Amino acid sequence: MNKLVKFCAAALMVSACGMVEAAPAANNDFVTVKDSHFVRKGRAYYIAGANFWYGGYLGAANSVGDRARLMKELDNMRALGINNLRVLAVSEKTEMKSAVRPATTSAPGQYDEELLAGLDFLMAEVAKRDMTVVIYLNNFWQWSGGMTQYLNWFEGTPALDPNVTKDYDTYMQKTAGFYRNAAAQTEYRNVIAKIVKRVNTVTGKPYSDDAHILSWQLANEPRPGNGKATPEEKAVYVKWIDEVAGYIHSLDKNHLVSSGSEGLAGSAHDAQLYLDAHRTKNIDYLTYHLWPKNWGWFDSNNPSGSWDNAIGKSRDYLNSHIELAKKLGKPIVLEEFGLDRDGPSFSIKASTRLRDRFYREVFDIIATRAGKGDPIAGFNFWAWGGMGRAANADFWWKPGNDFVGDPPQEEQGLYSVFDSDVSSLLLIKEYADRLHAIKR
Ligand code: IFL
C-alpha cells in the first residue's frame, strides 16, 4: 500500500508539472516518418502507448461521459510516460448484444453530435498534455457495431455476433464482404470525411491541423476473411487498404495513415499478403498485435505447461515482424498485446504475476531492438482500465457501467490494466522511460 501511495504521489507531481496548454502546431509537431523511424519536433519519437478505445465516450458531456475521470486518467497515464493512445472514433448502432451503446452513428448518415463532441474533448485534453493519438475509423469486430453492422444496413444480412454464434470462421468470411459492398464503402467514406475534416468543437481547430493525431487508422484489426481466405479475397483486401488509405491522404496531407492489422495472425498467416497490404505509399507504417491466449499458444488454466510455448512463439512473432518492416523500409508499432490475470480471474483482486512477466518479455524485445536502431517504433498495451471498475458479478458490461479496457464483447477485467495494478504500472513506466531515452 505504501508503495502505491508513493507511486501515485510521484505520478501526480509529474503530471502537474508537465501540463502544457494547446498551442498552434508548428510543422515539425506532426509525427512524420524518416528512415524507418518516427520523428516529432525534430527528435526520434517512440511510442509508449495504451489502448484507450473509450476515450471519446468518456469525453461526452452527457451522462455517457465522465470528463472528470477522463482528465484524471490522462494525467495518470502521462505520469507513467504513456505518450500515445489508440482510440475508437466511431461506432455503429446495432442489435448485437456484445456491442457498446449508444453508438455515434445511429443509421447511415445519422450521427450523434453530442457523442462525437466527446472525441473533441478528448483531443483538447490530449493536446494539453502533449500526447498523441491513433484514431481508428471502423472495426472488424462486433463490439462497436463495425463492418458486420454496415453489411446489415446495406445488404440486409443479419449483423453476426460471434459471441452468440460461436462461429468465428463464418463471421470473418462474411464480414470481409464489407470491402466489396459499394454502398457500405460509400457510407464508410462519408464517415471518414466527417471525422477527418471535422473542426474540433472545443478548440476550434480542424482535426487535419491537430499535431496530436499520430495517424488515422482504417479499422481495428481488419482481416481479409478467415484463415482460408482465397487469392481473390486477399486481392480485394489489399486494394481496399490502398484505396481507403489514399482517400484519407487526399483529405488530410498532415497525418500518417495506418491499417490496424494484427500482422500475420490477421493475414491468413500469409507474409506476402501482409507485405502487399503495407507496401503501398498510402500506408506509412506497419502495425501488429500479439495475443498468445486468443491464438491458443497459452492456456491460462495450465500456465506452467504452456508458458514456454507461448513465450517462444511470442518472441518469434515480435522479431519476425520487425524483419518484415525492414523489408518495406517502414516503422512498425506493436499496437496491441495482453495476457489475463492469474487464476485466470477477472477480479481486480487477482494478482498479475504472469501478465507482468509477459509484459517484460515484450517490452524487453521492443526496447532492445529499438535501441539498436531497428524500425520498431514502440507499443500500445491492451488496455487501460484505469479507475474503471466492473459493476456486475459476471463481469459483463451493461449500459451505464464504467468503461474499462475490455470492450463489451469480453468480460471486464480480462486484459485491462487498472490503476491499482501497481507492479504493471511500474513496469510500463520503466520501459516508457527507456524508450523515451533513445536518441538517434
Ligand atoms: O478486445 C479485443 C479487441 O477486439 C482487439 N483485439 C484483441 C482484444 C482482446 O481479446 O482488437
CATH number for the domain that contains residue 318:
3.20.20.80
Asked whether the beta carbons of 76 and 11 are under 8 A apart, the reply is yes
Q: Is 139 in the pocket of ligand 1 (CB under 6 A)?
A: no
Task: Decide whether any atom of ligand 1 lies within 6 Å of the 263 Cβ.
Answer: no
336 lines ligand 1 (CB under 6 A): yes
Give the residue, by CA position, lying nearest to ligand 1 atom 4: 141
Q: Which of 54, 100, 336 to mutate to test the pocket of ligand 1 (most atoms within 8 A of CB)?
A: 336
DSSP 9: H
DSSP state for residue 282 in the 8-state scheme: T
Domain hosting residue 328, numbered range: 3-436
Tell me how far apart the alpha carbons of residues 272 and 233 are, in angstroms, rounded to a whole number.
Answer: 14
C-alpha torsion angle, residues 69, 74, 77, 81 (rounded to 10): -170
**For residues 39 and 42, what is the distance between their CA atoms, to the nearest angstrom?**
6
Q: How far apart are CA 248 and CA 269, in angstroms?
A: 27
Centre a 10 Å sphere on the Cβ of residue 377 and count the other Cβ atoms it contains. 29
Q: What is the pLDDT along the chain (440 residues), one digit of tens a residue?
A: 344 444 544 444 434 333 334 456 778 899 999 999 999 999 999 999 999 999 999 999 999 999 999 999 999 999 999 999 999 999 999 999 999 999 999 999 999 999 999 999 999 999 999 999 999 999 999 999 999 999 999 999 999 999 999 999 999 999 999 999 999 999 999 999 999 999 999 999 999 999 999 999 999 999 999 999 999 999 999 999 999 999 999 999 999 999 999 999 999 999 999 999 999 999 999 999 999 999 999 999 999 999 999 999 999 999 999 999 999 999 999 999 999 999 999 999 999 999 999 999 999 999 999 999 999 999 999 999 999 999 999 999 999 999 999 999 999 999 999 999 999 999 999 999 999 999 98
The helix (run of H) or strand (run of E) holding residue 334 is: strand 332-337
Q: Is 294 in the pocket of ligand 1 (CB under 6 A)?
A: yes
Furthest C-alpha separation in the chain: 59
* Contact of 141 with 88, CB cutoff 8 Å: no
What's the 118 CA to ligand 1 centre distance in angstroms? 22
- CB distance 411 to ligand 1 below 6 Å: no
Q: HSE on the CB side for 16, CA within 13 Å?
A: 6
All residues at 6 or more sequence positions from 4 whose CB lies less than 8 Å from its CB, including other chains: 420, 422
Residue-level pLDDT at 8: 45
pLDDT at 74: 98
Count: domains in the chain: 1
Question: CA 308 from chain center: how many Å?
Answer: 27
Ligand 1 atom showing the smallest separation from residue 289 Cα: 6
Q: Is 180 helix (H, G, I), strand (E, B) or coil?
A: helix
Is there an atom of ligand 1 within 6 Å of 288 CB?
Answer: no
Task: State pTM to two decimals.
Answer: 0.95
The rounded Å distance from CA 270 to ligand 1 centre is: 21
Q: What's the 153 CA to ligand 1 centre distance in angstroms?
A: 24
